[in-house]
Each structure stands twice: as C-alpha cells, then as structure tokens.
C-alpha cells in the first residue's frame, strides 16, 4: 500500500513493484506551472535509482484530508 496526496485529499492505493535499487543523491524541482505542483512535494529524504522497474499501481482512493502543518515557534 502507498500513501499520496492531491491538494488537501489524502490518497491510498495498492500496488506492486520490482526493481534493482541503488541509493543516489537527488534534488527535486517542480515548476509552479506543472500539474505536479499541486502535490506540494518537498525535498526527498532518499532518492533511489530503479533499474528494470516494473510497477503496477491500483486506482487511488480518498481516505481523508491532509492537515496543514502549523508552526507556533
């Protein structure tokens, strides 16, 4: 099972994958014009290089709403 989000919705979908994995250094840049900007992704904790990736992803289901992070510091 995998979690994701779209705008304020929290999504859950099942899936399977297999691959040869390698940890690499990565940097994520998404322009504001991209449809992916609505996912509000930050910098990755870890980046994987996937060789010979085979991925099957099921249809996402809305399981709730994301709570915005508020800092009072």
Q: Output the pLDDT for position 18.
A: 92
- What are the boundaries of each domain within the chain? 2-65
Report the range of poorest mean pLDDT among 5-9, 63-67, 69-73.
Answer: 69-73
Distances (CA, A) of 9 to 61, 63, 65: 10, 8, 4
**Residue 61 contacts by C-beta under 8 Å, 6 or more apart in sequence?**
11, 12, 13
pTM listed for this prediction: 0.39
Q: Output the pLDDT for position 20.
A: 93
């Amino acid at each position: 099972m995998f979690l994701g989000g779209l705008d304020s919705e929290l999504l859950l979908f099942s899936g399977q994958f297999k691959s040869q994995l390698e940890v690499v250094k990565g940097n994520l840049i998404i322009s504001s014009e991209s449809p992916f900007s609505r996912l509000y992704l930050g910098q990755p904790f870890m980046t994987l290089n996937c060789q010979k990736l085979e991925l099957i992803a099921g249809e996402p289901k809305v399981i709730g709403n994301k709570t915005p992070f508020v800092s009072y510091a």
